[in-house]
Structure 1
Amino acid sequence: MGSLSDEQRRVVEFPPTGGHLLVRAAPGSGKTETITRRIGYLIDQHRIDPATVLALTFTRRAAEDLGRRIRPADVWTGTFHALGVEILERWGAVIGIGRPLRICAGSRQADLLIRAIALAGVTPHDDERDQRRFARELRHRISRRKRRGVDDDSRHGDERVPDGQMALIHDAYCRLLRDEEALDYDDLVTRAITVLETEEDAAAHYRARVRFVFIDEFHDISPEQYGLVRLLAPPRGLPVQLTAVADPDQAIYEWRDADVSTMLAVLRREYRPHELELTWNFRSAPPIIDAANAVIGGDRRTRPAVAVLPPDGGAAPAVACVRSRDHLAEADRLADYIQRAVDSGRYRFGDIAVLSRTHARSRYAAERLPQQGIPIWRVEPERFMSQPEVQDALRYLELLIALRDDHFVPALNWPRVLVDEVTMVHLRRLARRESLSLCALARRIDQYADEVSPLTRAAIRDFFVTVAGPLGDLADGPIHALMGPFLDVLRRRRSPLPLADRPALRDTFDLLGGHLRAAEGALAAALAANRPIVVRAGTDGDSVAASLIITHTLDRYLDHDVVLAAVDERVAGDAFVIELGRDRPVTEHGIGLTVWVTPHVSFSLGTLAWRLGQMLLMRHERDPAVPLVAFDLETGDRHPLTAEVVEIGALWLTGDTDGQPPRAFAQLVRPTSPRAITRQARDVHGLTWNRLASEPAMVDVLPALLAFLEDAVLVGHNIEDFDYPILRRAARDLGSPEPRHLLIDTAKMARRLLPDQRSHRLEDLVHLFDPEARQTHRALDDAKLTKRLLAYLECARRRQQELEALTEALPLVAMSIAAAGLDIRHDNALLVRAGARAAAF
C-alpha cells in the first residue's frame, strides 16, 4: 500500500460491506491500477472468493490488460460483449439461439448490410469503398434501432435513405442474420438481457455467482449495458457491491447513447453510491494537462504529483491545438509540422509518432504523408479479423465445430472454387432426393459415381480428408495447436497457377489439345470398354514422370488400374498400350507419346501425359442432368421488400435438344393499384397501369407459374437478391407455401469468372459475345438473354475447371521438363514456375 496516494488508498480500502461505490477519476490518475489493487485487497485482506468478482470494461485490449494485472486468474474479467457471449453460450437455447454462437462482424457484417441495402431498394454506391463506408454509417443507425427498439430517421436522416427505407433495411438485415443463424455485437448484449429477463434460473445462476462488480470507464456505458449490469447486480436486495469508475471528461461514446450525465444520474438514483475522487495525474507533463483542460474546459485540478521533464532537462515542449477545415487539410498541416521538425535537425522521422482516436481517422494521413515524401509505418494496417481472407478462413474453423451446409459450400470453394455453381445445384438436388444434408451426401460421394464426375468426387474427398485428418483431431484442442496444421492446409489448397500466367497457359492447352485429340479419343474408348491399360516406359526421368502422371490420373480419378511394363515387355492381347518415348500411330490397340518439337518450344513426355490426363477428365465433366429454367420478373419498383410483379418471363433451357422449341411462360400481371408502378420503373420497362389494368392479378397467375416451373433450377441475373425474394414474398402474402427452388445467379457467376469486367450488368455481359444485343427490360426477352449469358459463362467455367484439373501433378511436369533437358523458356517456363509453386504448397 506504500506506493498508493491517499486518494487511491481510500478507494482500495473501502469496506466490502460499505455499500456501492462511485469513483470519479481524472486522466492519468491510475484508476485501472487502483481497481486491480482494490480487488487484490478484497481477496487478500477480506478473504473473498476470487470467482465472485466480475470486472467489466469496454475493449478487449483493456480487458486483457485488466486480466494481466489481477491475480489470481479466477477473477472474471472481460468486456460487455464477452459477458453476453458467456450468457448466450450457456443459456441461449431458451430463446432459440443454438451453439456454437456465430458472431457477424467486420467484413461479413458489411457484406450483409450491402445485401440488405440492395434488398431495400436503396441505390448502392458504385465504388466498393464508398459502399462499405455507407454500410458502416447504416450499421450505426441499425445499432441504435436495436438498442432503442424505435426508428430514429428524424434525428439521423440521410438523403439516400428516405423516410421508411431505414425500417426496410433493418428488417432485411435482421432477416439475413437469421438466415445465417448469426448474431451481431448489439445482439450479444440485448439477447443476453432477454435471457436474464425471461429465464429465472439463468438470472439466479449469475446473481448467486457474482458478489462484486467493477466497471472501468463507466462514463462509456450505454443504457442497454447498464441494463445488463442491473440484472446481474440489482441495486438492492442482494449482497452485491458495485464499484463504478468514471471521468465525464473522457466520455467518447455519446454517439451510441452513452450519455455520461444521464447514466451517472441513473446510477446515483438507483444505487445511491458513496463517492470518492482520484484527482492527481501521475502520467502527463504540465503542458499536456493544460492543453487537455483547455480543450475539454477542465478546472485545472489535475496537477502532476511529480514533475515530468524532457530528456535534456529543458522546458517541456508546448502543445499546439489546431483546428482544420477537413481531414485533408488536417493531413497537410500534419505533414508540414513533421517536415519542419525534421528540417530543424532535432528529430528524425522515426522519432515522431502520430496518434489518432480511431484507425479510420488516420486513413487520410496515411495516404497523404507518403505523397509528401514522409515515410510512415502503420502499427495496425487493417483490422485482422475484418480481412476477407480471414473471414473465409474462419469458415474452416466453424466447420470443425459443426458440419453445416451453410459452412460447407464456402469452405469447400475457398481459397479456389472446386465445385462450380451448376455442379453444386446438382449436388443439392441429389441431397434432396436422398433426404440428406449436403454435408452428409458429400461424405458418401463415391456412392454416386454414376451421377457425379470424377473431378468433383476427388475434390470433395480431398476436402474431407483435410478436415477429418490433420484438423479434425485437433478441433477440441487449444487454438495454438490447431493453427499450424490449419495454415498448412490452406496453403496446400491454394491454386499454383497465378492469374497473370493463365492466359498464356490457356494458349498452351489449346496447342497441346490439338496435338493429343486423337490419342485422347482412343484412350477414352479403351477405358469405356474396360480394357486393361498398359504403360510401357523407359527408366529416364521424363518417362518415369509421365508414367506416374498417367497412373495417378487413371487410378485416382477413374478407378482404373494401370500395368507398368518395360519398353520391350510382352503384354496381353486385349490390352491398350501407351508407349512412352516411342513413336506409334494412334490405333484401337494403343498410342505413342514422344517429345513434341514445335518451332518455338519442345514439350516433354510428362507435359503431354499431364495434358492428356486433363482432357480425359474433362470428357467426364458432362453437364449434369439438371432441369434449368431462365427466369425474370419486371416489377413496379426496384425495392425487393415492397415491389409488386408486373410481368413474368420464364424459359426452359432443357428439353429443346430434339429440335423442339423450348417451353416458355410470358404473362403480364396487374398490380394492386396504379401507385404500385413508380415513374422510374415505368421508364425502364414501359409498362403502365392502363396497359396492365385488364391483366390477371398475381393470385390468379401464381398457380400456373409454379406449375410451369415444376422443381427446376431457376437461372436469373441477380435472381438471389431480387427476383426470387419477390416471388417468395408474393407467395407468402397470398397465403401459399413459399417456393423452394434451387438457384443459379448469373450475376454472381459472372463476378467470379470475369472479375476484371468493369460492369456485370446483363446487357454489358452479353455484349462480350454479341455487341449488337439489346436489353428490352421485358421479362421473357431478359430470360432469353440470361439463357445466352449462361451458355457463355458455362464455356468460361469449363475452361477454368480444365485449367485447375490435375494441378497436383505439376511438380512431376516440371521435373520431366528438366529431365528431358529442354530449354526452360516460353511455355516450359510457365509450367516450371507452376510446378515449383505446387511443390511449395
Structure 2
Amino acid sequence: MATENPARSATLAVAPPPSRPPTNGGLTSEQTDAVTHVGGPLLVFAGPGTGKTRVLTERIAWLIRERHAAPNEVLALTFTSRAAEEMRTRLSSPTLLGEDGVNGLTAGTFHSICARVLRSHAAVFGRTDAYTIFDDVDLRKLLVTTLAQHREPIVAAAARCGEAPPQEVLDEIGLAKGRLWNPTVYAQHSDHISAAFIAAAWTELDRELLASNAFTFDDLITCTAWLLAEAAGIRTHYQARWRWVLVDEFQDTNAAQMALVRLLAGTGYGDSGGRLLAVCDDDQSLYSFQGSEIANVLRFGDSFPGHRTVVLSRNFRSRALVLEIASTVIRRNRDRQPKQLDAARGAGGVVRSYCFADDQDEARWITRRVSDALAKGISPEEIQVLHPARWVSMPLQRALAQARIPYRVLGSLGVLERSEVKDALAYVRLLVNPQDALAFDRAVARPARGIGEVGRRHVVESARARRIDLIAACSQASSIASLNVRQREALEQFAAGMSAARGALADGRSLTHVVQQLLAMDGGLIAHYEGKLAERTSARKRRDTARVLEDLRSIVGAVNAYELESEEPTTLAVFLEQTTPMHSRTLEGEDRRITISSIHRAKGTETLLVIVQGLEDGVLPGWRAIETPGSAVMEEQRRLFYVACTRARDVLLLTHCGRRHDRRNLKQSRFLTEAGFQTQSTGA
C-alpha cells in the first residue's frame, strides 16, 4: 500500500508542450552574451533546460555568418555522439546555416576527434592508420590472457604486494591514464595496495596492445594530448585548423581532456585561449568515479586567465514546482557556482513522494501509474523511470513484463553488443587490421573450425616470430608443426576468404560489397547460420537463428548507410569507429516504449512524466556518502538527485521503500527530507 506524502504537490491536467526559447534571434540576454562573445575565454554555466545546445549551435552559426570563422575552422567537442548529431542537425536547418553551410564543420566526441587525429599520426606510437580500438570486453580478455602467461615482471610484482582482480586493474589503469600518468608514475604515486602489480600488468598490457596495432579508448585521449604537447609542429597545425573551440559538458572533463582542451585552444603556447567557449553545469557533474574533475570548472580562471562567465538562468523545460524541489536540495552543496533557475513555463507541476512497504509493492504501483498515464493518452516516449543502480529496477521490469507494457532499459545489451554481431565485426576488424590478435581469435573460433585456443595462440606466435600478419600466417598454416591436417586446411580456407575480401577492397569495390563478401565467405558466418536455419526443427530455434541472420544483414545495411551518408572519404577503419561506444547508435532503432534508465544515463533527456525509484538512505545517497556527510561524495550524490528531478517537465513522482531486496528498515532519503517531504513510516 502506498503512502502519499502531500507536502509538495500541485494539480496539473494534461500538460501543454514545453515552452522553448524564442526562435532565430529571440535569445535571452544571457544567451545573446554567450553567442556573440569575442573577448577572451568564456565559461557558460547552463542549468538544465536553459538552452545549452541552442547556445552552442547559435554560437557556431553566428561565428560563421559574421565571418569570424569558416566552417572548417570550428571544432565542437561533446561527450556523446547523440549531442554531436543534434548539433549538426540543428545547424543544417534552414533557419541557421542550411545543409551546405555545415560542410567542413568538425563536431564529435572527444574520443572520435582524437581517433581522427591519431589516424594521421599513428606511426608516432608504433601503429598503422588501420589500428583497432579495443573496447572494455576486448581489454579485459587481453588482460586475463596476459596475466595467465605468468610473465616475470608481473609474477615478481605479485610476490611483493599481492594481485588485484582484473576489473580492478583495468579501473585503476583507466583512472591513471585520465590523470596522464604512465605505469612508472602510477607505481610511485598510487596508494593502491597492489600498485606495483597493477603497474607491471599495465606495462605488459601496453606491449600486447602495440603488438595488436591497437589503442584503448583512454589511449585515444592521452596519446593525442601527449602528441600535441610534445610535437610543436603538429600542435600548431591543429590550432591553426580549429581556430574556434567549443566544449559541451565541460564539468565532465578529466585531467587528460582538460589538457587536450588547453592544447587545442592554445593556452600556454602564446595564446590566451581566447577562442574557447566551454559550457558546463557544476550541479550536473556526476562522473568523479570515472575521473572527471569538478575542479576544472571551479578553477577555470587558473587555466584560462582573463576569462568571462555567463550564467544561463531561464529554464524552458520544467514547471516551477519541479525546479523548486531540485533547487532546494542542490543549494546545500558548497562547491558550486550560485545560481537560481527561473521557470519560463510558470507555476504548476506535480511533485509527490510515495512510500511503500517493499519494492514489490512499489513495482506494482509504478506499473499501475504507467498504465493509467498511457490510457490518458500520454506517449510512452514521454515516460521514464529512473534509478540510482540497476538492481533497483529489477522488480519493476518483471511487473511491467507481466502487465505487457513495452519498455526499454538504457544500458542493456543492444544490437552492437550481441555476441553474433561482435563475431561479424571481428571479421571486419581483422580485414582492416590483420595484426589484431583478439579479432583473429574471435573470427577463427566462430563458427567453430576445430582450432582450439592453443592452436590459435600458436598461429599468433608464428605470425609475430616471422613478422607477418595473421592472415598471412593462416595461409601458411602448413608450416606450423603443432597443427594437424584438418586445422591447417581450415585456416587456409579462412585465409582464402579473408584474402578475397582484401583483394576486393584493393580493387576499389564498395565497402558494402566487401563486407557482404566477407560475411558470406565459404565456412563463414552467413553460411553457418543459413545451414543452422535449414536444420532447425522447433519454431523458437528457427526464429532465433533468423534473428541472427537479420542482425548480420543489418551490419551490411549499416555499412551501406555509412557510404551513402558520409561527407568524407569512406574507409572500413572509420566505419569500425562508428560501431564502438563512441557511436553506439549506429545499428540501434527507436520505438514506442517507456524508458527505464539509470540517472547517469538519463542525463540530457527530458520527459513529461518522471518516476524516481530508490530514494532511501543507503541507496541514494549511498552508504559511502552517508559515512562522510560533508564530503565531495555526498555532494555528487546530491547532484545525482538534482539531475533526476530536472529530467521532468510536468510530473515528478519520487518513491522509497522500507524494504528493498535484502535490505530492511530503510529510511527515506535525506534528499527527500531536504526537499521538504515529511519523514514517513512504511509499516515494514
> Given the two structures, how large is their TM-score scaled by the length of structure 2?
0.59
Per the TM alignment, residue 420 of structure 1 is displaced from its structure 2 partner at its CA by: 4.6
Name which of 299, 305, 318 aligns with 2:351.
Answer: 318
What is the aligned-residue identity percentage? Answer: 27
| Ranges in structure 2 where 5+ consecutive residues have no aligned partner | 1-23, 93-101, 157-163, 333-337, 538-684
Which residue number in structure 2 is paired with residue 335 of structure 1?
A: 363
For the structure 1 residues 289 and 330, does the alpha-carbon distance in structure 2 shift closer, same or farther, using more than 3 Å as the test? farther
Please tell me whether the aligned partners of residues 252 and 286 of structure 2 are also in contact (alpha carbons under 8 angstroms): yes
Per the TM alignment, residue 247 of structure 1 is displaced from its structure 2 partner at its CA by: 1.2
**Alpha-carbon distance between aligned partners in 1 of 2:252 and 2:283, rounded to the nearest angstrom:** 11
**Alpha-carbon distance between aligned partners in 1 of 2:339 and 2:309, rounded to the nearest angstrom:** 20
Amino acid at match of 1:103: I
Alignment of 1:401-550 (within 5 A): 401-404=432-435, 406=437, 407-408=439-440, 410-420=442-452, 439-440=471-472, 442-443=474-475, 455-456=486-487, 458-469=489-500, 472-474=503-505, 482-489=514-521, 490-494=525-529, 496=531
**Alpha-carbon distance between aligned partners in 1 of 2:374 and 2:481, rounded to the nearest angstrom:** 77
Per the TM alignment, residue 177 of structure 1 is displaced from its structure 2 partner at its CA by: 3.0
Per the TM alignment, residue 211 of structure 1 is displaced from its structure 2 partner at its CA by: 0.9
Please tell me whether the aligned partners of residues 279 and 302 of structure 1 are also in contact (alpha carbons under 8 angstroms): yes
Per the TM alignment, residue 493 of structure 1 is displaced from its structure 2 partner at its CA by: 3.7
- SS of residue in 2 equivalent to 1:84: helix
Amino acid at match of 2:327: N
Which residue number in structure 2 is paired with residue 736 of structure 1?
A: none
Per the TM alignment, residue 461 of structure 1 is displaced from its structure 2 partner at its CA by: 4.8
Please tell me whether the aligned partners of residues 396 and 411 of structure 1 are also in contact (alpha carbons under 8 angstroms): yes
- SS of residue in 1 equivalent to 2:490: helix
Name which of 34, 37, 54 aligns with 1:33.
Answer: 54
Amino acid at match of 1:146: K
Which residue number in structure 1 is paired with residue 429 of structure 2?
A: 398
Is 1:62 matched with 2:83? yes
For the structure 1 residues 332 and 98, does the alpha-carbon distance in structure 2 shift closer, same or farther, using more than 3 Å as the test? farther
For the structure 1 residues 300 and 332, does the alpha-carbon distance in structure 2 shift closer, same or farther, using more than 3 Å as the test? farther
- SS of residue in 2 equivalent to 1:271: coil
For the structure 1 residues 82 and 100, does the alpha-carbon distance in structure 2 shift closer, same or farther, using more than 3 Å as the test? same
Q: Report Cα offsets for 1:780-811 as digits up to 9, x if no partner.
A: xxxxxxxxxxxxxxxxxxxxxxxxxxxxxxxx
Which residue number in structure 1 is paired with residue 390 of structure 2?
A: 362
For the structure 1 residues 174 and 388, does the alpha-carbon distance in structure 2 shift closer, same or farther, using more than 3 Å as the test? farther
Amino acid at match of 1:79: T
Please tell me whether the aligned partners of residues 44 and 311 of structure 2 are also in contact (alpha carbons under 8 angstroms): yes
Please tell me whether the aligned partners of residues 107 and 388 of structure 1 are also in contact (alpha carbons under 8 angstroms): no
Aligned residues: 473
Which of these two proteins has the greater Rg computed from alpha carbons?
1
Please tell me whether the aligned partners of residues 53 and 213 of structure 1 are also in contact (alpha carbons under 8 angstroms): yes
Is 1:85 matched with 2:85? no
**Alpha-carbon distance between aligned partners in 2 of 1:374 and 1:134, rounded to the nearest angstrom:** 41
Please tell me whether the aligned partners of residues 280 and 303 of structure 1 are also in contact (alpha carbons under 8 angstroms): yes
**Alpha-carbon distance between aligned partners in 1 of 2:45 and 2:520, rounded to the nearest angstrom:** 51
For the structure 1 residues 416 and 38, does the alpha-carbon distance in structure 2 shift closer, same or farther, using more than 3 Å as the test? same
| Ranges in structure 1 where 5+ consecutive residues have no aligned partner | 123-132, 309-314, 503-841
**Alpha-carbon distance between aligned partners in 2 of 1:86 and 1:363, rounded to the nearest angstrom:** 37
Which residue number in structure 2 is paired with residue 312 of structure 1?
A: none
Per the TM alignment, residue 460 of structure 1 is displaced from its structure 2 partner at its CA by: 3.9
Which residue number in structure 1 is paired with residue 45 of structure 2?
A: 24
Per the TM alignment, residue 347 of structure 1 is displaced from its structure 2 partner at its CA by: 5.0
- SS of residue in 1 equivalent to 2:245: strand
Which residue number in structure 1 is paired with residue 304 of structure 2?
A: 270
For the structure 1 residues 369 and 485, does the alpha-carbon distance in structure 2 shift closer, same or farther, using more than 3 Å as the test? same
Which residue number in structure 2 is paired with residue 188 of structure 1?
A: 220
Q: Report Cα offsets for 1:438-471 as digits up to 9, x if no partner.
A: 63354467x9899987745653454244334467
Please tell me whether the aligned partners of residues 22 and 243 of structure 1 are also in contact (alpha carbons under 8 angstroms): yes
**Alpha-carbon distance between aligned partners in 2 of 1:362 and 1:168, rounded to the nearest angstrom:** 33
Which residue number in structure 1 is paired with residue 658 of structure 2?
A: none
**Alpha-carbon distance between aligned partners in 1 of 2:284 and 2:467, rounded to the nearest angstrom:** 59
**Alpha-carbon distance between aligned partners in 2 of 1:431 and 1:187, rounded to the nearest angstrom:** 25
> Given the two structures, how large is their TM-score scaled by the length of structure 1?
0.49
Which residue number in structure 1 is paired with residue 670 of structure 2?
A: none
Please tell me whether the aligned partners of residues 55 and 76 of structure 1 are also in contact (alpha carbons under 8 angstroms): yes
Is 1:105 matched with 2:135? yes
Please tell me whether the aligned partners of residues 285 and 316 of structure 1 are also in contact (alpha carbons under 8 angstroms): yes
**Alpha-carbon distance between aligned partners in 2 of 1:197 and 1:291, rounded to the nearest angstrom:** 45
Please tell me whether the aligned partners of residues 416 and 493 of structure 1 are also in contact (alpha carbons under 8 angstroms): no
Per the TM alignment, residue 384 of structure 1 is displaced from its structure 2 partner at its CA by: 4.5
For the structure 1 residues 479 and 336, does the alpha-carbon distance in structure 2 shift closer, same or farther, using more than 3 Å as the test? farther
Amino acid at match of 2:80: T
Per the TM alignment, residue 246 of structure 1 is displaced from its structure 2 partner at its CA by: 1.3
Root-mean-square deviation (CA), in Å? Answer: 4.3
Choose between structure 1 and 2 for higher RCO, CA contacts under 8 A separated by at least 6 residues.
2
Per the TM alignment, residue 362 of structure 1 is displaced from its structure 2 partner at its CA by: 3.0
**Alpha-carbon distance between aligned partners in 1 of 2:267 and 2:390, rounded to the nearest angstrom:** 42
Q: Report Cα offsets for 1:604-643 as digits up to 9, x if no partner.
A: xxxxxxxxxxxxxxxxxxxxxxxxxxxxxxxxxxxxxxxx
**Alpha-carbon distance between aligned partners in 2 of 1:47 and 1:97, rounded to the nearest angstrom:** 37
Which residue number in structure 2 is paired with residue 6 of structure 1?
A: 29
Amino acid at match of 2:345: V
**Alpha-carbon distance between aligned partners in 2 of 1:211 and 1:97, rounded to the nearest angstrom:** 29
**Alpha-carbon distance between aligned partners in 2 of 1:434 and 1:225, rounded to the nearest angstrom:** 39
Per the TM alignment, residue 188 of structure 1 is displaced from its structure 2 partner at its CA by: 1.0
Which residue number in structure 1 is paired with residue 345 of structure 2?
A: 306
Please tell me whether the aligned partners of residues 30 and 282 of structure 1 are also in contact (alpha carbons under 8 angstroms): yes
Q: Report Cα offsets for 1:657-685 as digits up to 9, x if no partner.
A: xxxxxxxxxxxxxxxxxxxxxxxxxxxxx
